[in-house]
Amino acid sequence: MYLVEEATQLADRVFQMWITAPQVARHARAGQFLIIRLDETGERVPLTISAVRGDQVRIIFMAVGKTTEHLSSMKKGDAISDVVGPLGTPSEIERYGTVVVIGGGVGIASTPIIAREAKEAGNHVIGIIGARNKDFLILEDEMTEICDELFITTDDGSKGVHGFASTVLDELCKNQKLDCVWIVGPAIMMKVTSAVTRPYGVKTFVSLNPIMVDGTGMCGSCRVTVGGETKFACVDGPEFDAHQVDFDELMSRQRTYTDEEKASLEHYHHGGCGCCGGDH
């Protein structure tokens, strides 16, 4: 069993949780993820490792389905049945020069650990975090502390730049030399934002979030097309060359179990077990 050490709400339906998981914390690197199972009959849910603190790992998630709603109700002192990880290939972090770390929405959860490792590798780190409005922004203070520069964007202009991360990134590309970019967020956001760096030839990584089950490359549910080849996000990624990803296929596959996920959540709200669907 894995003990919940802290559980707090960061924004509407967005929660932060620190879990004691010594083996995971000891080996975790930027870009990797873990899989949790709340109890022995529960589904397996992949979540990005957002930070490490001693023997604890941090996850940040949005309550959108049965399991994440159940997880959001857990408090300090509660226990999770299984925490498996770290899984996936770590971010390709080295001393590039000037790098940009971009997070959109809940994707901001992945940015601190990447930005911190990039900074420790000797890079000048520029952060861009964006959300629908100021109430959905998370980890602003943490990213301010880590990054050499931080830009904030909101769709409605309630804080920072009125617009999207792609707008700020485009200005940066026009005005200085960028050596590497990481983008984490909704698939459509990653598609649009990564298109900005293509004309400039800037090395760009995106962290993909397809449907995932076992996290070890056995089930094949997380397959994505990168550079015309089939890859498994759980073992070959989750980070890939943004300019090689088939985002349209990714977004289509993400919608595969929409009806089942909705039914599972409704069943959960009516007191059922909710084991008939997922919320990956």
Pick out the residues of the known binding site: 219, 222, 234
- Coil/strand/helix, residue 30: coil
Residue 121 token pair: 């590798």
Structural contact between residues 45 and 55, judged by C-beta atoms closer than 8 angstroms: no
b/e sequence 51-84, b meaning 16+ C-beta within 10 Å: bbeeebbbbbbbbebbbbbbbbebeeebebebbb
Angstrom CA distances, 101 to 30, 149, 266, stand at 12, 10, 37
Q: Report which residue type is found at 74.
A: M
Instruction: Extract the annotated binding site for [2Fe-2S] cluster.
Output: 219, 222, 234
| C-alpha to C-alpha distance for 263 and 121, rounded to whole angstroms | 46
Q: Count of CB atoms within 10 A of residue 12's CB?
A: 10
Q: How far is CA 187 from the centre of its chain?
A: 11
